[in-house]
Structure 1
């Protein structure tokens, strides 16, 4: 049958810690300090990164108000106008990319 040691009090704990710390060399103190600083530094870095606002800013959505007596022809004309405008913007963007590609090809990339 094994006998467990009696429970020690705070004074015995402090005495043991004082004895342990007094027998450590300078190199062990430096290694122990680094062993504490590195995870604390990483924790602070993660905490600061979590505080960084990487969410997109507020999005503004404009809603058009249409009269209640709007006809189907008005609606179709507006849809066609918006589609034509989008096609024009897409074509301009595609032309910009084509110009960039031509420039890169010309310089050998």
Structure 2
């Protein structure tokens, strides 16, 4: 069997044209509708798959202290740092309690609906 008999672009185009001519008008409309449905579903998947990544770098800055600091200076700095840490923890707890109250409200609403 010779290779030129296996595939010919001219014969393929002619075959497709004959196939297209034998189709009814309503078949073309169904083809168009089915292509649109597939494109819309594909677009929905692509659109839904995009999301912003919440990136917050956790950078820890190291402070340089002189080697001849006194113990009193070190303790004073530790008290300042402790106050900052306690304020941050208190803020975190307030936010956590707020989120917990929001979810409890939703849970109570779902329980009232029997869910």
TM-score by length of 1: 0.53
Q: Which residue is equivalent to 2:84?
A: 82
Taking a change above 3 Å as real, the CA distance of residues 92 and 14 of structure 1, as seen in their structure-2 partners, is: closer
How many aligned positions are there?
97
Q: What displacement does 1:99 show?
A: 8.8
Determine the structure 1 residue equivalent to 2:10: 11
Distance 2:51 2:100 in 1: 35
TM-score relative to the length of structure 2: 0.51
Q: What displacement does 1:85 show? A: 1.9
- Deviations along 1:1-47, one digit per CA (max 9) or x if unpaired, are xxxxx424222211111111011111110111122222233334444
- Give the number of the structure whose residues are more often helix, by fraction: 2
The runs of 5 or more residues in structure 2 that have no matched partner are none
Structure 1, unaligned runs of 5 or more:
1-5
